[in-house]
Amino acid sequence: MTNAPTDGWSPADNPYAIAVSEARWWKESARLAILRMRRKDDARFGWCSTQQIDARQLVFALRQLLSAEDLEQFALKELGINQAVRDVLTNARQRFEDALPGIKDMRDGLMHFEEWARGLGRGPQEKQRDDGVLPRDVARHFWGFGFDPNAGTVKFGPYIINIDTAERAAHEFAHSIYMAAHEVDKRNTAELRAKTITALAAAGIPFGGPDAGFKVSPGTDLSIWVSLDRSPGVDDSEYSDLATRIVAALISVDLRLVSNIDAEDQAAAVRLARGEFLYVAADTVESEEPEESEADTAADPITSAQFQRIVTLAVEKFREAEHCAEIGAFEAACVLVGAAVESALIAQVCVFQTEVRNANLWRKHRKRKTSAEEDTPLFKWTLGDLIQVAVKMGWLPIDGATLSVAEPVEKLTGEVGDAVRFIQEVRNLVVHPGKYVRSEYWPPIGRVEYDVVYGVARAVLDHLNEAIERL
């Protein structure tokens, strides 16, 4: 009998990503311990100091970062990554150890206290014994663990580390481990792009020339995007035929085109022919990992190209709203402002997606009533979803006094979060005629309403800007 997974996946297949994942977890473990150490002792533990407990956890977490670097170095060497990359990581480890002198020995002393308490430990204790020092005196020299909250230091025998320094060092070291793994992702992307181009060439599909009819991105965002160059006046059947040939060529080498904007099951050739950007992925189950790691975020469903597009969209919608307002089309202007706000909030979630997930605020859905919950792709969130998350994350403050469009706009004195809900209600009345007719109050959407909606939207962007600057 065996409890091994049956899907063929194993952490041994991608140790470079496992190292990044573990580095991230232990970095955050260290940060959590430090946050608690800066507070007063938890009275629920009575005589036992929780600061001293967390100090021990901190030492273990910091030492585990060295283990993550060991694994990363092994993986980089096994994968044949350039020695210069490994040297940069070695230097990062040295800086970490210089900032936290004796961290390995501190952990060893805590873990193997049954030996260190008798002066029979390895490492520095063994060296002193070899120099003729009695075990009893060795034990006395390497003992006395404790956290000094006034000095902000953790001491064990001759070793002392500062918790502020430890927090910075852990963050920088974990980032260095991630950047080393990033080189693996860059190489994998280059190989995937080469495989894509080779498959297209083998199928007789021209690439790179002005008449190719399609584009393959360079992969600078660690994703290989394929898109058609649609020109006015060209029959749709030509794009359909080209898209079908491209998809077939990639399938022949176990590659597929994937959309991460729309999760609905539609043929890749259909998506490509209608002008959608699709990215290339290996058509294998083994490439999927059951646990997300920081290295995996290179292939996150939200790419840098999409982020740039959503930011640009927010600006464009504001400009279009201004043009509509200039000619007196205030209803259209309000709808466009609503679209701009929605785009800005999507961009905010893109920037802080890790924080949103850690706060358990990522939207979820069920395909069927009896199926398990799944993450909802960000680009399928509603404006209501975005507002709710933004308020809970503290990006859009509220006071609960949400204004209805049935009230005079001069009463709009609530916080920004409340005002955004006002924008949502105005937009819904305009774009949903049934809601407008069912409403007991049929509000006019004119210059006054537009000015309020536009002003609120600008305030939203100010709040989002402040949040990013604080970060």
pLDDT of residue 89: 96
Query: Which residue would you say has higher pLDDT here, 237 or 101?
Result: 101
pLDDT grade for 117, boundaries at 50, 70 and 90: very high
Top-confidence residue, 397 or 71 = 71
pTM for this predicted structure: 0.55
d(CA 217, CA 193): 8
Determine contact, residues 16/184, Cβ cutoff 8 Å: yes
Residue 385, pLDDT score: 83
Say what percent of the chain tops pLDDT 90: 34
Per-residue confidence band for 437, with pLDDT thresholds at 50, 70 and 90: low
Q: What is the distance between the alpha carbons of residues 343 and 363, in angstroms, rounded to a whole number?
A: 17
Q: Please check whether residue 230 is in contact with residue 275, taking contact to mean a CB–CB distance below 8 angstroms.
A: yes
Asked if residue 339 lies in contact with residue 317, where contact means CB atoms within 8 angstroms, the answer is yes
Kindly give, in sequence order, each residue whose CB lies less than 8 Å from that of residue 337, ignoring residues fewer than 6 positions away: 317, 318, 321, 423, 427, 450, 453, 454, 457
List, for residues 170-210, the tens digit of each pLDDT value: 999 999 999 999 899 889 888 998 999 898 888 888 766 56
The b/e string for 149-163 (b: 16+ C-beta within 10 A; e otherwise) is beebbbbbbebebeb
Contact of 389 with 356, CB cutoff 8 Å: yes
CB 422 within 8 A of CB 416: no
H-run or E-run covering 326: helix 304-326
Asked if residues 49 and 102 have their Cβ atoms less than 8 Å apart, the reply is: no
So what's the pLDDT on residue 7?
A: 53
Average pLDDT over residues 8-31: 89
Sign for the CA dihedral angle at 8, 21, 301, 359 comes to positive
Residue 370 pLDDT grade (very low, low, confident, very high; cuts 50, 70, 90): low
pLDDT of the residue at 419: 58
- Average model confidence (pLDDT) for the chain? 80
